[in-house]
Amino acid sequence: MKTNKPIGLCSDHAGYETKELVKAYLEGKGIALHDYGCYSDERCDYPDFAHGLGRAIDVGEVDYGIAVCGSGNGISMALNKHASVRAALCWCAEIAGLARAHNDANVLSIPGRFVDEELCRSIVEAFLSSEFEGGRHAGRVAKIPL
């Protein structure tokens, strides 16, 4: 993935711990970040934070994001309401790589309650290191927006 902009992060309370793990991992790699919340494990609603990241992608503040909630589903659904977002729920590294390579996903959605630290790092690394292949996939991706 190529970008000169920070990577956006967001989560709800169920994904907070995993988001913080991702944040530390990316900071350790020297990657710039913008955290759109949440900022603790206190109960909250995932759309409140997903929409912050989604708006940031829509206006070009960030090109890519990583989002975490308990199952990864709710936060991904909220993010995908934004015209510029292609959020992909990924539970293994291969799916994350394919989401980038075939679907040009710009947000990685992680199911925080279902991945351990090692698996989480491998998913993030696969997402970050994969590039969109274009070709036959470009026409399909172009058909996604309504």
Enclosing H/E stretch for 24: helix 16-28
Selected catalytic residue, list 34, 44, 51, 102: 102
d(CA 97, CA 64): 14
> Which residue, 1, 26, 21, 25, is CA-closest to 11?
21
d(CA 127, CA 97): 5
Annotated active-site residue 38? The verdict is no
Annotated active-site residue 69? The verdict is yes
Alpha carbon 49 to chain centroid, angstroms = 12
Selected catalytic residue, list 69, 82, 90, 120: 69
Residues serving a catalytic function are 69, 102
